[in-house]
A and B are shown apart, each in its own frame.
Chain A
């Protein structure tokens, strides 16, 4: 009887060591990377279930930090939009899923009062009118980042 008692205790103690661990399937393709592009800002939309990051080249980054609303030729913007999902590991947070669309703006010419702009959507589709999208993207200002000492 006593030996059986001890045997019964073994699984009780052994259970202590196990936890549930479902390995996730990684999706590195959801990481957006284009050389020369830096972060301008980030936004998300719960009704559309999307989350976005606006990237730009150096000229675009400078323009987004600027309070003036003029744009110079050579500015390049990429608005990357991901589908959004609940964080699988934390109830209370949402996280980006796969890329839904990439929108691209290039400022071609700034000689006139209305700069010449090329807008296209190299990845995915966007239903809103290009004019509205350009207005949205140009309205986005740069994030506040901390600055440490080197």
Chain B
């Protein structure tokens, strides 16, 4: 499998230079076609920001201050706005966390699903809507042709997330980034939506970056995992390896916090004492040290870089412990 997306040493900051806040620090990962990479971490660890930076959608005040994002051999960061727009929704598409607010309340579902087809393939609205109906069918929305004329408020949360998936798949993108696609959904619907997403990406042989805070999801759907903490990756490995052999104290904490399979999969990761640090005021050294049961004085010297532990690309960022 050849690498499709390679993010290297990516650092992202918000604000103006001297007093900017680095919310993502030296993040490196890659994903190949047909592969699913899960990015796991607590709220505020920088998962969404990382995802948005790939599409150049950081918005006001956010910028990539270091590193590169190579997609199909091209550094996205060096492209101009028009070139990035040709990639968005076409070669890379994104599914967002909030199905209730991520669809435009004033436009019909049909128009919203057909829109990327219309702009990226230059076909007529009629043809684009025809394809949109087929897409809705593929994401198992009953009566797709009828529902094209409906508005988002006429759909349930799960249905809207299916619509979002249909929209993301519209141009058969090589890479799909799903940012906590099921967090806002009912438990019963979560599995359906994830299964659908997984099946369809497999059919298209696309790469999937699945952002989640739920390690239970990771086990079922991911090939590789990157665990993020306070803007940095603290451990990365294949999903199997990570489950069998978690190394970083933070990952161990996360594992312990998975409630016996799925008592309440919606609960945020909380089993680790203390709360995630404020990225604007990170402690010296390892950002996890204040909450780490294995921490010692050596931990505050510097922020530990990722290093290989064991084989098969298993890496982690911790000095104190092997």
Do A and B associate with each other?
no
User: Which residues of A are in contact with B by a Cβ distance under 8 Å?
Assistant: none
User: Which residues of B are in contact with A by a Cβ distance under 8 Å?
Assistant: none
